[in-house]
């Protein structure tokens, strides 16, 4: 079974802080994704990566960056956290011709 592990289930940070959300997958998948989930809006793509050091912007990249130095790890970075980035963040990974597998999510609160 594919396992996608997000480092924190709950996180509380202050405005202006630099925040790192970590995601690790154990299936040697090429593709990894970061989504943001808000009530009534569904999931929206922030960034995705199709290989080490490769990344593509999604629908809502503003205020975020990503890092993929190793194949199994995909990090989401909030450069200077703001209250409107309070949300649930979901990471997913995907192998060739396979559906996306999701982690359990990180519920992030920015105070």
Partner 1 sequence: AQSVTQLGSHVSVSEGALVLLRCNYSSSVPPYLFWYVQYPNQGLQLLLKYTSAATLVKGINGFEAEFKKSETSFHLTKPSAHMSDAAEYFCAVSDQQAGTALIFGKGTTLSVSS
Residue closer to partner 1 by CB (options 33, 74) is 33
What whole-number distance in Å separates Cα of residue 37 and Cα of residue 18?
Answer: 20
Residue 44 engages partner 1 in binding (rule: CB under 8 A): yes
Length of the chain counted residue by residue: 111
Residue 95 engages partner 1 in binding (rule: CB under 8 A): yes
Residue 13, C-beta contacts closer than 8 angstroms, at least 6 positions apart: 19, 78, 81, 108, 109, 110, 111
Residue 98 engages partner 1 in binding (rule: CB under 8 A): yes
In this chain, which of 14, 50, 65, 79 binds partner 1, going by CB under 8 A? 50
In this chain, which of 12, 41, 52, 54 binds partner 1, going by CB under 8 A? 41
Residue closer to partner 1 by CB (options 27, 80) is 27
What whole-number distance in Å separates Cα of residue 36 and Cα of residue 89?
Answer: 5
């Amino acid at each position: 079974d594919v396992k996608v592990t997000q480092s924190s289930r709950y996180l509380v940070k202050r405005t202006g802080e630099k925040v790192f959300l970590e995601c690790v997958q154990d299936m040697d998948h090429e593709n990894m994704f970061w989504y943001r989930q808000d009530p009534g809006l569904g999931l929206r793509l922030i960034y995705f990566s199709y290989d080490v050091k490769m990344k593509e912007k999604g629908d809502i990249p503003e205020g975020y960056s990503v890092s993929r130095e190793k194949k199994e790890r995909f990090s989401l970075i909030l450069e200077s956290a703001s209250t409107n980035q309070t949300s649930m963040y979901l990471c997913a990974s995907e192998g060739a011709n396979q559906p996306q597998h999701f982690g359990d999510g990180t519920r992030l609160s920015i105070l």
